[in-house]
Amino acid sequence: MEKGINLEKFNKPYDPKEVEGKIYKLWEESGFFNPDNLPAGKVKSQKLKVKSFCIIMPPPNANGSLHLGHAVFAALQDLMIRYHRMKGDKTLWLPGADHAGFETQVVYDKKLEKEGRSRFQIPRDQLYKEIMEFTLANKKVMENQLRKLGASCDWSREKFTLDEDIVSKTQDAFIELHKQGLVYRGERSVNWCVKHQTGLSDLEVLHEERKDPLYYIKYGPITLATVRLETKFGDTAIAVHPSDKRYKKFIGQEVEIITLFGKTKIKVIADKAVDPKFGTGAVKVTPAHDPADFEIWQRHKNEIPKPPAVIDKYGRLDLLAHFPYNEKAKKYHGLKVLEARKIIAEDMQKEGLMEKVDNDYSHNVSVCYKCKHILEPRITAQWFIKTKPLADPAIEAVKRGEIKFIPDRFKKIYFHWLKNIRDWNISRQIVWGIQIPAWQCQDCQSWAIAKEKPLNCDQCQKSNLELDKDVFDTWFSSGQWPFLALGWPDKNDFKKYYPTSVMETGWDILFFWVARMIMLGLWRAKKVPFKYVYLHGLVRDKERQKMSKSKGNVIDPLGVIDLYGADALRMALVVGNTPGNDPIIYEEKIKGYRNFANKIWQASRFVLTNTQDFNDKAKPKSTAADKKRLKELKKLCKDITKQIESFKFYAAAENLYHYFWHTFCDKIIEESKSRLSGENKADRQAAQYLLLEILKTNLRLFHPFMPHITEAIWSHIPDNKNLLMVEEWPS
């Protein structure tokens, strides 16, 4: 960039479109995004020991464009990164991209649907290849979008969750967990999405309130209430609360009941999980199709037979295998759950098996967080991680203060979740993800855990082994991201930057991601993955509404950057954005900071054109008022530094904004005008000195918040030696 003041350029209003791209190129070519190229020990006091500062960027899902949420993290993280770089720390911001398993599969499913195709008809290898191409193309787009935001991350260190080394080490972790007895293959009731044809983890389940008929059905002498009439063919018992006097005499007995399929017997058991206030206090137990019933079965295995699965993976009744000679079974077989429910209700009414129906019953149902289909609990075999042995150290580390939460209140939520954590289902029945290194013997069904196909089965010695078709839950690899991205166990970066300094991310993935990174980081890398967790909220519009396509209130970050510049967007995302709370953003707010950028531009032009003859060798004869202003400036530096250090970025941004506009522009510049045009040369020099000092200091202070415009103006400062991005921070 040319030096000296180009008045012609300065005379026009600030045009971010013309400036920002060029500035980014300048930064990227300087090599300073890479901490290895930073001038070490530039600051005197740090000559001996250079501190390091590292943020691992939450790898965005490479399945679409960046949205405003990504812009929030880019603004906050780049702010910290630029601040620490200027302070002289070895500063690394490591970018990445996430293959985002199920999430990407869902996006790709939609694309296929539009093309009239289905993933269930595409050969595995081809599907994987297609999604890989799709993901890599998106990854490229995302990288350029991050550049547009001004992200000063080290692209030379960028990692992708499907990089060979990441895949290999993720599989190693599974093998090691298995060796330590922390992985097991379990038949469990899992949340099954009939649309997506995969099991989900508890975290991927949404609970929605629905109104459904509650049926009171007669089971011999006992009446019980249920919504899920269609699962009755899978009933294995009637359960009551042990201290429920109404049913005391039945407990442990078999009662004779009449069902749609004729007479049969069923056992009455007592379990504390039964709520005596629900319905009649008696419930049917259907372990194959209800997670709570599955738990009851686990506790009463010697009393209850193995439950039949009467609903298949497509959510249809599957009865013929269990009731091959029954005419009614034929009638219901193959019906979808809700159709079946209606018909069964009618038939039971007709046969006098229904006592009454409560049509006004509200309850919570579990739905897929992606497609909102009601989830079908199914007993399937999946790989589980025993989480308790991992969760306990994760609780202890935070208790010891090795990790601090910003804001602190999230600590409580974190503890609560980890204390009640359940084993983690890490199998996903999709193609897109990291292959689980498990082989099943086709002769004796036993499993071998290994990357390479074992020659023989351990158990039966035959050599008929097949690779598991499932892949890992995407959070299993991203849960190991900080240490894997840094090249654990032997890369220098890992030794230098782990534990990292700050993990900055949305509070909505506190459990999905943050807690798991802490658990897996402690287990694998033996240290916490980061010292601070900064959690930001969910972007909302002026009416505090979530942004969504259907509401039409979505702000596209790239669109507003085009209109108002990345600096304006970044300021708008930082001001008013307190940790843990939802930031409010709307177009006028961004526009306001575009106007502010203009104000900075004009003020800088005024100062630079009026100081061209300033002699920086001569000692200025500052007045008492000048000295007061300089003292005030020093205090500003102290305040801003303190606010950034304590994660009060919103306060620092607002502080700077008000100082620049209402103190510097409205007062100091105004007051200087007569001195600049006056006869007193020494006083003119003093005024010039004051203006230049304040401008230069403000450019530095503003740089982490509005990096492009400050760098652009800095290039016109006559005696600048460095890019502003590596100038010394004024503390």
Told to check if 457 binds Zn ion by CB under 5 A, we report yes
Tokens at 40, concatenated: 């070490």
For residue 184, what are the contacts with CB-CB under 8 A and spacing of at least 6?
A: 383, 384, 386
Identify the residue among 7, 137, 444, 618 touching Zn ion (CB under 5 A).
Answer: 444
Q: In this structure, are residues 47 and 41 in contact, taking their beta carbons and an 8 Å threshold?
A: yes
Length of the chain: 731
What is the DSSP-derived secondary structure letter of residue 282?
E
572-573-578 Cα angle (round to 5): 115
Instruction: Write the binding mask 660 to 699 for Zn ion: x where contact by CB under 5 A, - elsewhere.
Output: --x-------------------------------------
Instruction: Write the binding mask 213 to 242 for Zn ion: x where contact by CB under 5 A, - elsewhere.
Output: ------------------------------
Least distance in Å: CB of 460 to Zn ion? 3
CA neighbours within 13 Å on the CB side: how many for 125? 0
Least distance in Å: CB of 72 to Zn ion? 24
Cβ proximity to Zn ion, 303 vs 443, nearer residue: 443
Tokens at 230, concatenated: 């269609």
Question: Which H or E run includes 208?
Answer: strand 205-219
Told to check if 206 binds Zn ion by CB under 5 A, we report no
Cβ proximity to Zn ion, 368 vs 713, nearer residue: 368
Q: In this structure, are residues 337 and 230 in contact, taking their beta carbons and an 8 Å threshold?
A: yes
Tokens at 533, concatenated: 């967790």
Least distance in Å: CB of 662 to Zn ion? 4
Least distance in Å: CB of 315 to Zn ion? 11
Helix axes 681-702, 624-645, angle to 10 degrees: 10
Least distance in Å: CB of 466 to Zn ion? 11
What is the DSSP-derived secondary structure letter of residue 564?
H
Instruction: Write the binding mask 172 to 201 for Zn ion: x where contact by CB under 5 A, - elsewhere.
Output: ---------------------x-xx-----
Least distance in Å: CB of 657 to Zn ion? 7
Cβ proximity to Zn ion, 256 vs 671, nearer residue: 671
**Alpha-carbon span 524 to 124, nearest angstrom:** 32
Cβ proximity to Zn ion, 126 vs 442, nearer residue: 442
**Residue 656 class from Cβ within 10 Å (0-12 exposed, 13-18 middle, 19+ buried)?**
buried
Tokens at 652, concatenated: 């620092």
Least distance in Å: CB of 639 to Zn ion? 15
Query: Which 643-662 positions form the footprint of Zn ion (CB under 5 A)?
Result: 658, 662
If binding means CB under 5 A, how many residues of this protein chain bind Zn ion? 14
Least distance in Å: CB of 321 to Zn ion? 26
Cβ proximity to Zn ion, 93 vs 108, nearer residue: 108
Cβ proximity to Zn ion, 109 vs 567, nearer residue: 109
What is the DSSP-derived secondary structure letter of residue 45?
G
Least distance in Å: CB of 82 to Zn ion? 24
Virtual CA dihedral for 715, 721, 726, 728, nearest 10 degrees? -110
Cβ proximity to Zn ion, 83 vs 659, nearer residue: 659
Least distance in Å: CB of 706 to Zn ion? 17
Identify the residue among 354, 406, 441, 644 touching Zn ion (CB under 5 A).
Answer: 441
Told to check if 463 binds Zn ion by CB under 5 A, we report no
Q: In this structure, are residues 403 and 530 in contact, taking their beta carbons and an 8 Å threshold?
A: yes
Runs of H (alpha helix) within 456-530:
474-478, 481-485, 492-497, 516-524
Cβ proximity to Zn ion, 237 vs 375, nearer residue: 375
Least distance in Å: CB of 653 to Zn ion? 13
Told to check if 443 binds Zn ion by CB under 5 A, we report yes
Tokens at 527, concatenated: 């240290």
Query: Which 353-382 positions form the footprint of Zn ion (CB under 5 A)?
Result: 368, 370-371
Told to check if 459 binds Zn ion by CB under 5 A, we report yes
Told to check if 460 binds Zn ion by CB under 5 A, we report yes
Q: In this structure, are residues 528 and 402 in contact, taking their beta carbons and an 8 Å threshold?
A: yes
**Alpha-carbon span 7 to 681, nearest angstrom:** 24
Which region among 460-468, 520-528, 642-650, 685-693 touches Zn ion (by CB under 5 A)? 460-468
DSSP, collapsed to helix, strand or coil, labels residue 145 as helix
Tokens at 297, concatenated: 């079965």
Told to check if 582 binds Zn ion by CB under 5 A, we report no
Binding site for Zn ion (CB under 5 A): 193, 195-196, 368, 370-371, 441, 443-444, 457, 459-460, 658, 662
